[in-house]
Amino acid sequence: MAEQEGSIVRVPLQSLDTYDGVVAEDVTSPEGALLLPQGLRLSLLGASLPKVLDRLRSSGVEGISIRMETSVSLKSVDSFLEVVLAQNQAVIDREVSREAVSQVQGLFQSVRRQPMTPELLVPLVATGKTLAQEILKNPQVLLSLARVHRWDEYTFVHSFNVAALAGFLAQRLHPQEPDLVEQIVLGGLLHDLGKAQVPLEVLNKPGPLDDREFALMKQHSAWGEELALQGEVTSAPIRAVIRWHHERWTGCGYPDGLRREEIPEAARITAVADVFDALTAERAYKQSLPSRDAMNLILGDTGQHFDPRASRTLLTSFGLYPPGSIVELSDRSVGVVVSAGGEDLIRPVVLIQVTPEGTAPESPLFRDLRRCDLRIRNYLGSGARRDL
Ligand SMILES: [Fe+2]
């Protein structure tokens, strides 16, 4: 980019995605609503940029003034989150995450080639236990969901995310039952095992499935339980998660049409985690939904699809501003939510990215909104997931 650092340039909306810099002055609608705050770093908008652009266009904005800044080393939410993750012990160890994803993948590949045996499960069970320990150590849900890099690795990354999230929810619902949490984590890692028997062209189809393909796909929960039996999995919660994670609270799920408490709790918890991750993941044929929107959809479906206790736990775990939300505070600083504020839904912990003066903080600056006078003024979008 040719512009000099510190200079202010007027950028037409259609070229905004090619610029990095800081919004030089508040952008408002003709009615005076704040559309983009001064000081916002454009790269923080990440995947929300198209939506923000739509909003600006529909408000008649044609261009905005950007102050070019290239000296800040934290160029994007991703690299920014690297700092957050490095500073927070309370996040799942990256090695454990990687290990879990690659072992789920290894297991799926083995099951496609050879009959299921108990030995095939040994490495994944060991990593699953370590993952459960990580979750039990962490009282807060922090950014831990992993992103999918390649279209064909979705199932494995998704299995890890479901295991982690279901484990977090189980821990909050049953803090005195670490064994149950562990079983649910293992169940999450294995919940889609039956997909190892779904033809690859159906499993990895980069688009919505037709009726025949969907009928095949729906077999995976029953097939998964058969595989678990062949692998001599005796734990009732693990088997329940595998067989019944697609059952629905009102009884219109599959494979058995169980309803309400007939569905074992481990499967009800996993159902919430499963749908949350599916909604927020990026797929070849759909954009990811910001976690806040996914949470709203799940809450809207509570009592239909989901067990109300399990989905309420999701809300109180994430707060109204889930980790990764980009927010503007009342002093006009902008940051990323790094931790929901426990039961306090509107006052999370925010890591400041842009100070009220429009500069990057010299050292990482955390604001716990339960412990200071600041409040959230504006929700600006959702940040990225983490790279494994
Ligand atoms: Fe499934």
More confident residue, 82 or 337: 337
Q: Could you tell me the distance, in angstroms and rounded to a whole number, from the CA of residue 111 to the centre of ligand 1? A: 17
pLDDT at 341: 57
Average pLDDT over residues 86-111: 79
Which residue's structure tokens are 């479901």?
162
Which residue type occupies 51? K
Q: Could you tell me the distance, in angstroms and rounded to a whole number, from the CA of residue 193 to the centre of ligand 1? A: 8
pLDDT at 342: 59
Cis peptide before 255 (omega within 30 of 0): yes
Query: Sheet holding 376-382: strands in order across?
Result: 365-368, 344-354, 334-341, 325-329, 376-382
pLDDT at 134: 85
Q: Could you tell me the distance, in angstroms and rounded to a whole number, from the CA of residue 184 to the centre of ligand 1? A: 14
pLDDT at 312: 85
Q: Are strands 325-329 and 63-68 parallel, antiparallel or unpaired?
A: unpaired
Q: Could you tell me the distance, in angstroms and rounded to a whole number, from the CA of residue 215 to the centre of ligand 1? A: 13
How much of the chain exceeds pLDDT 70, in percent? Answer: 81
The region, left, alpha or beta by phi > 0 then psi within -120 to 50, assigned to residue 39 is left
pLDDT at 185: 97
- CATH classification of 89-318, choosing from 1.10.287.3510, 1.10.3210.10, 3.50.50.60, 1.25.40.10? 1.10.3210.10
Q: Could you tell me the distance, in angstroms and rounded to a whole number, from the CA of residue 219 to the centre of ligand 1? A: 9
| Average pLDDT in the chain | 82
Extents of the domains making up the chain: 8-68, 89-318
Q: pLDDT, tens digit, for every residue of 219-237? A: 999 999 999 999 999 999 9
Q: What confidence category does residue 109 fall into, taking pLDDT thresholds of 50, 70 and 90?
A: very high
- How many CA atoms lie within 13 Å of 36's alpha carbon, on the beta-carbon side? 29
Radius of gyration for the alpha carbons in the chain, expressed in angstroms and rounded: 22
Q: Could you tell me the distance, in angstroms and rounded to a whole number, from the CA of residue 253 to the centre of ligand 1? A: 11
Q: Would you call 179 exposed, middle or buried from its count of C-beta atoms within 10 A (0-12, 13-18, 19+)?
A: exposed
Q: Would you say 304 and 124 are in contact if contact means Cβ atoms under 8 Å apart?
A: no
Burial 356-366 (b: 16+ CB within 10 A, else e): eebebbeeeee
Q: Could you tell me the distance, in angstroms and rounded to a whole number, from the CA of residue 1 to the centre of ligand 1? A: 46
pLDDT at 3: 42
Helix (H) or strand (E) holding 63: strand 63-68
In the predicted model, is pLDDT for residue 73 greater than 50?
no
Superfamily name with CATH number, domain 8-68: Molybdopterin biosynthesis moea protein, domain 2 (3.90.105.10)
Q: Could you tell me the distance, in angstroms and rounded to a whole number, from the CA of residue 220 to the centre of ligand 1? A: 7
**Phi, psi at residue 336, to the nearest 5°?**
-110, 135
